[in-house]
Chain A
């Protein structure tokens, strides 16, 4: 069978990894050793996620009451609820939370449990519900997860799909941090992601199909890598770098779908990806859907949505704290609890999962498996050669031929 992967002869180091295995420059047929092996005649492109963030779509009408602001506004509201005037509250916040007696106010410990002050990050219900404003409006990124179009649904701003379920957006969308729209991304997430990818194993995507330049069936897989993302001189993901797929089955998610006009959509499936603390410790979505656009320059971007256990996201924010997460933690907790729309707890009947959507951007890289075989190749795209035809011939050389200039 014609081999269209570029497989090279591996030398000593690999035989140390897999003693007894003698991998020579041969081509492997489907099913032999490749875990996610697509058909041997198919094409599989690999990507490393270069950016992932809560898919925020901010509009002038989505917070009619003015929004929740950020930590300064939140602190002022708390102070006013304690009896300070607006001016006094402003003055205190402006002087680094130092009150009229020279004492620094610790907003974090404003909760009360058994008469003792406790951290509201850890005990959000130790403080009364501040009733944050939740997002309204017409648009939000995401998918119609429950098949229904009702008053709680949105319209996707790009596809104009109706009935989009994104209750998490309602919870978060009126905090200043999230009142952004692409290409701007929520500030707290951008900072943390940037540090996370330098210490967290990469999150990988592969798209496989017969011929990805044409419409047809595809399989999309997500995996965790053994390696950390490599960066180029601009700090972006280094295109063409190589990652070994972590064979741990937990972070392996498979979606079946179609590609049409360069856009991939999938049948619902579950998504699970292990991350690192301070960023998403784990990202898991049930009934997840995906929409990815394959761009001429070789990168992909799109939306990943589904039902997420809302405590996962709360956990992410509470680790950051209110000053870095830039939200009102009890407010978010109560709102999430109220607006959660899936997975009822059998005991209490309360929903444990909330509809959510994330925006993904990924750069082309090589994916290999533990046996040292190339599973997916780095599709070079047109790079920035205006007018040059996309190099799409099969065969190892040409596939790697057009590098960026």
Chain B
């Protein structure tokens, strides 16, 4: 590879300083079974969940600050297919690996994870190490280790144990090596020719297990799922169904749900959210921290616990509040919190006719899609279109003249809506702004911090707008429109499928998704477990679209 040879110094001889050496100028042509591998980077949360699920939740995983990645087709998940690991991130992973390995191997914890003990604590013990590393390796790499692989890790342990005169240190070294291996840091997807569709490729059993569990549980496959992969059960419809149904009954489904909606609703924006607290003193850091959790709890409660259809999220008045959120929303929240006790999450229902309806009225939506000092119907309308309706809003043209936008202190244009009126009357602006602003106007009763208001600088707020020809006034009506619009659930279904496969659906898949939506609509709406069930039992979910088998190389 060109880059490597840049780095490899051009020195001859036995100088003991070679970095890499390419053993030949060009690699041999790939044999037919080659190019069967791709890999997807784990997210921070998936990394943490995996460690906790394998080694126990009392293993501390330090905060792992990797780059947030980038959004493709509305989802960060698709970006993970295109990401690699930079030096700075690798630094952190190496540090984390050493730290986690040391914790696992710590005498206090070791006994629960290892069934053997070394003969001599100050020296290597290949047999015991092999037993431990073999077991743990399956869980970490989500597939069994090959003989040479296991030997390599065992020999890492024995060398390190020799150099540092400690079995534990040797084991730490080997375990850390596994934790920085690409097989752990990435979700490796191995494909094989699909017997049902000649010319196509599909994921092998272990890769299926991984895709399934990261989709449903946002974590690594457990031992039972791996066993189903090993036995081949996962490749059969009955076996797959049994696993899917087992997994959907697990409380871990909540992790998967949270990870999905965090991605779809853009909650990575919380890391950089900045609302001006000079102007909005109620937006304390507690509100900032609680806002994301409020919405996720609402979603978990509605879609998992109560098994409500997706549309309910927009019209439900049920949610959960903390004292800080309650103060921001202007409602009383009785609490019997002890002095110095943990801040409680209290289930709360807004009364009938209250404007706080659905997730659009929650701080997470209102503030994330807004400016630090003022609200923005454009940003909110754009978010509605892009995040909830899967529509694309074109970016502003490069040479737009914003001098049309008035001075915010202009006495003639007091409300944001009035200031944006010119945007809807100027032809150059109206094309896009009429896609975004009308929906955003319905939310103008909420300022940028999420507080309710009926006036802005003394002018009453006009919250009327239209969507697809349906007009509405205020958020209650907008919420109803969203709930009833087929595009809303179509968007969710498409996003869910994309999220699970980390790619755009193919044409055939899109047809299938459309048909799925009609079926679910007849059943009263899209329910999360049912949706997961259908998606994960669709064989296409495990195919690699467009990847045909390579032509066989001559004389390999």
Task: State whether A13 and B351 are in contact (beta carbons under 8 Å apart), knowing that A6-B332, A405-B451 are contacts in the complex.
Answer: no
User: Are B349 and A8 in contact, with the CB atoms below 8 A?
Assistant: yes
Instruction: For the complex, give the distance between the alpha carbons of A370 and B337 in Å.
Output: 11
Instruction: For the complex, give the distance between the alpha carbons of A203 and B454 in Å.
Output: 32
Chain A residues within an 8 Å CB radius of B337: 226-227
One digit per residue, 1 when the CB lies within 8 angstroms of any chain A CB and 0 when it does not, for chain B 334-355 equals 1111010000101111110111
| A8 → chain B closest CB, angstroms | 6
Q: Residue B455 contacts which of A6, A9, A201, A388 (CB distance < 8 angstroms)?
A: A388
Q: How many chain-A residues does the 8 Å CB contact rule pick out?
A: 49
Instruction: For the complex, give the distance between the alpha carbons of A77 and B450 in Å.
Output: 59
Q: Residue B328 contacts which of A240, A368, A387, A397 (CB distance < 8 angstroms)?
A: A240
Whether, in the assembled complex, A366 has its beta carbon less than 8 Å from a beta carbon of chain B, the answer is yes
Instruction: For the complex, give the distance between the alpha carbons of A378 and B330 in Å.
Output: 8
Tell me which residues from 1 to 35 in chain A have a Cβ below 8 Å from any Cβ of chain B.
6, 8-14, 17, 25
Whether, in the assembled complex, B165 has its beta carbon less than 8 Å from a beta carbon of chain A, the answer is no
Chain B residues within an 8 Å CB radius of A228: 339
Tell me which residues from 307 to 322 in chain B have a Cβ below 8 Å from any Cβ of chain A.
none
Whether, in the assembled complex, A234 has its beta carbon less than 8 Å from a beta carbon of chain B, the answer is yes
Chain A residues within an 8 Å CB radius of B354: 396-397
User: Are A11 and B330 in contact, with the CB atoms below 8 A?
Assistant: no
Q: Residue A6 contacts which of B285, B344, B351 (CB distance < 8 angstroms)?
A: B351
Instruction: For the complex, give the distance between the alpha carbons of A10 and B348 in Å.
Output: 7
Instruction: For the complex, give the distance between the alpha carbons of A234 and B277 in Å.
Output: 8
Number of A-B contacts (CB under 8 A): 133
Q: Residue A396 contacts which of B351, B454, B457 (CB distance < 8 angstroms)?
A: B351
User: Are A391 and B454 in contact, with the CB atoms below 8 A?
Assistant: yes
Q: Closest B-chain residue to A200, C-beta based?
A: B339
| A364 → chain B closest CB, angstroms | 10
Q: Residue A8 contacts which of B323, B351, B453, B454 (CB distance < 8 angstroms)?
A: B351
Chain A residues within an 8 Å CB radius of B284: 231-233, 238
User: Are B452 and A401 in contact, with the CB atoms below 8 A?
Assistant: yes
Tell me which residues from 349 to 405 in chain A have a Cβ below 8 Å from any Cβ of chain B.
366, 368-370, 372-374, 377-378, 380, 385-388, 391, 396-397, 400-405
User: Are A11 and B347 in contact, with the CB atoms below 8 A?
Assistant: yes
Residue among B277, B280, B455 with the most chain A CB within 10 A? B455
Whether, in the assembled complex, B456 has its beta carbon less than 8 Å from a beta carbon of chain A, the answer is yes
Chain B residues within an 8 Å CB radius of A17: 336
| A4 → chain B closest CB, angstroms | 12
Residue among A9, A201, A238, A373 with the most chain B CB within 10 A? A238
Whether, in the assembled complex, B281 has its beta carbon less than 8 Å from a beta carbon of chain A, the answer is yes
| B427 → chain A closest CB, angstroms | 33
Chain B residues within an 8 Å CB radius of A25: 349, 351
| B167 → chain A closest CB, angstroms | 50
Instruction: For the complex, give the distance between the alpha carbons of A240 and B331 in Å.
Output: 7
Instruction: For the complex, give the distance between the alpha carbons of A228 and B324 in Å.
Output: 13
Instruction: For the complex, give the distance between the alpha carbons of A233 and B276 in Å.
Output: 10
Chain B residues within an 8 Å CB radius of A201: 339
Instruction: For the complex, give the distance between the alpha carbons of A354 and B542 in Å.
Output: 85
Instruction: For the complex, give the distance between the alpha carbons of A205 and B333 in Å.
Output: 17
User: Are A242 and B326 in contact, with the CB atoms below 8 A?
Assistant: yes
User: Are A238 and B348 in contact, with the CB atoms below 8 A?
Assistant: no
Tell me which residues from 273 to 292 in chain B have a Cβ below 8 Å from any Cβ of chain A.
277-285
Whether, in the assembled complex, A244 has its beta carbon less than 8 Å from a beta carbon of chain B, the answer is yes
Chain B residues within an 8 Å CB radius of A226: 336-337, 339
User: Are B282 and A405 in contact, with the CB atoms below 8 A?
Assistant: no
Instruction: For the complex, give the distance between the alpha carbons of A226 and B341 in Å.
Output: 11
Instruction: For the complex, give the distance between the alpha carbons of A8 and B334 in Å.
Output: 10
| B355 → chain A closest CB, angstroms | 7
| B479 → chain A closest CB, angstroms | 16
Chain A residues within an 8 Å CB radius of B329: 400
Q: Residue A403 contacts which of B326, B334, B453, B456 (CB distance < 8 angstroms)?
A: B453
Task: State whether A400 and B334 are in contact (beta carbons under 8 Å apart), knowing that A13-B346, A201-B339, A238-B284 are contacts in the complex.
Answer: no
User: Are A232 and B282 in contact, with the CB atoms below 8 A?
Assistant: yes
One digit per residue, 1 when the CB lies within 8 angstroms of any chain A CB and 0 when it does not, for chain B 344-379 equals 101111110111000000000000000000000000
Residue among B285, B334, B454 with the most chain A CB within 10 A? B334
User: Are A368 and B332 in contact, with the CB atoms below 8 A?
Assistant: yes
User: Are B277 and A233 in contact, with the CB atoms below 8 A?
Assistant: yes
Residue among B278, B331, B332, B456 with the most chain A CB within 10 A? B332
10 nearest A-B pairs in the assembled complex, by CB-CB distance:
A366-B332, A233-B277, A400-B330, A368-B334, A403-B451, A232-B281, A372-B334, A387-B458, A11-B347, A241-B327
21 contacting pairs across A/B (C-beta < 8 A)? A8-B349, A8-B350, A8-B351, A13-B347, A14-B334, A25-B351, A226-B339, A233-B283, A242-B326, A242-B327, A369-B334, A385-B457, A387-B458, A388-B455, A397-B351, A397-B354, A400-B331, A403-B452, A403-B453, A404-B281, A404-B451
